[in-house]
C-alpha cells in the first residue's frame, strides 16, 4: 500500500539575484500567506503563470549611465527582446552593440525602461514583483527612454511556453 504525505507550500520563488549570471546567487520568494502567492497557487486556469514581457535587461547604475551618456541614471537597459515576443511586438528595442564595463560584456543601445504602470523600476527584482501581479493577456504601460526621448508604450503580456 502506498502512502502519500502532503506538504504545505511555504513560498513561491519570484526572482533570483545573480551577479555572475549563473544559478548561484540570492533567491527571493513570496510567502504563501501573501495574497499574490495564494492567487498564483489557486489560479482558476490552473497555470498560475505571471505575465511575460519577453526581454532581457540589466539594471543601470550611475557610473554606467554617465559613461554611456544616458538620459537617466536608473532603470532597466533592454539588452534583447524575444523575436515576435510581447516586448518586440510592442516596439521595444534591444541593444545593437557590445561594450565592456570592467570585466562585464554589456549589450547597449536598447530602450531603457523607467516605469511600468506608473511604478518606477530600478532593478530586475522591481520588474519581477510587478509582473508577478499580472497575468498573460494583461495590457501594461511601459515608460521608456529611446535615445533621449521619453515614450510610453502598451504591451500585451505573454505566457511562458
Give the tens place of pLDDT for each residue, 130-157. Answer: 988 899 999 999 999 998 899 999 999 9
Q: What is the pLDDT of residue 7?
A: 46
Which residues on neighbouring strands pair with residue 139, listed in sequence order? 156
Rounded Cα distance, 11 and 14, in Å: 9
Cα→Cα distances 85→81, 88, 158, Å: 7, 5, 7
Where are the domains positioned within the chain? 1-48, 51-156
What is the model's pTM? 0.70
DSSP code of 44? T
Picking from 121, 117, 95, 119, the residue whose alpha carbon sits closest to that of residue 107 is: 95
> What is the predicted pLDDT for the residue at 58?
92
Check residue 44 and give its pLDDT: 42
Rounded CA-CA distance 109/160 in Å is 26
pLDDT at 31: 59
pLDDT score for 3: 47
Is 143:115 a contact under the CB 8 Å cutoff? yes
Q: What's the pLDDT score for residue 24? A: 63
At residue 29, the 3 state secondary structure works out as strand
Cα–Cα–Cα angle for 90, 82, 158, rounded to 5 degrees: 60
Spatial separation of the C-alpha atoms in residues 79 and 124, rounded to whole Å: 13
Residues of the chain with pLDDT under 50: 1, 3-7, 34-35, 37-38, 40-46
Query: Is 51-156 a CATH 2.30.42.10 domain?
Result: yes
Amino acid at each position: 500500500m502506498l502512502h502519500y504525505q502532503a506538504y504545505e507550500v511555504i513560498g513561491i520563488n519570484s526572482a533570483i539575484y545573480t551577479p555572475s549570471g549563473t544559478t548561484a546567487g540570492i533567491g527571493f520568494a513570496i510567502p504563501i500567506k501573501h495574497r499574490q502567492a495564494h492567487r498564483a497557487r489557486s489560479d482558476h486556469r490552473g497555470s498560475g503563470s505571471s505575465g511575460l514581457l519577453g526581454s532581457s535587461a540589466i539594471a543601470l547604475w550611475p557610473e554606467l549611465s554617465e559613461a554611456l551618456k544616458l538620459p537617466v541614471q536608473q532603470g532597466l537597459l533592454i539588452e534583447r527582446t524575444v523575436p515576435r515576443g510581447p516586448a518586440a511586438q510592442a516596439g521595444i528595442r534591444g541593444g545593437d552593440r557590445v561594450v565592456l564595463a570592467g570585466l562585464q560584456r554589456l549589450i547597449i543601445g536598447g530602450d531603457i525602461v523607467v516605469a511600468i504602470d506608473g511604478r518606477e523600476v530600478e532593478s530586475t527584482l522591481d520588474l519581477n514583483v510587478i509582473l508577478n501581479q499580472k497575468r498573460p493577456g494583461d495590457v501594461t504601460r511601459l515608460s521608456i527612454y529611446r535615445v533621449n526621448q521619453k515614450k510610453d508604450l502598451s504591451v500585451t503580456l505573454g505566457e511562458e511556453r
